[in-house]
């Protein structure tokens, strides 16, 4: 975060809630992250940098310094943060949310 602006996110690891293919926490996180990335880049056209590291189960999205649809992109990222915090509250042993 820079001066109140969310500049991106990084999601990594596995929740450990259940076995692969049965893990509802992992599925929820994967779905919301994919939706956020598609909305930011494909709908808003923000041209955010996305890096995926399969071996670390990590995805990182970094926004450019500025984008035309800044208000919409910030709304998507704020919604993502709220959703992840809600999941954390519901499954505190399986998800950690850090704001840095």
* Band (82; pLDDT cuts 50, 70, 90): very high
- Structural domains in the chain plus CATH codes: 8-90 (3.30.70)
- pTM (predicted TM-score): 0.90
* Band (1; pLDDT cuts 50, 70, 90): low
First to last CA, the chain: 6
The per-residue pLDDT for range 26-68, each reduced to its tens digit, is: 999 999 999 999 999 999 999 999 999 988 889 999 999 988 8
What is the DSSP secondary structure assignment for residue 2, as one 8-state letter? B
């Amino acid at each position: 975060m820079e001066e109140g602006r969310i500049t991106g996110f990084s999601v990594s690891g596995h929740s450990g809630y259940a076995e692969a293919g049965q893990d509802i926490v992992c599925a929820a996180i994967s779905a919301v992250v994919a939706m956020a990335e598609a909305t930011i880049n494909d709908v808003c056209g923000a041209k955010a940098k996305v890096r995926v590291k399969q071996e670390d189960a990590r995805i990182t999205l970094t926004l450019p310094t500025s984008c035309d649809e800044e208000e919409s992109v910030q709304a998507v990222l704020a919604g993502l943060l709220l959703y992840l915090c809600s999941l954390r509250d519901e499954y505190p042993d399986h998800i950690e949310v850090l704001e840095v």
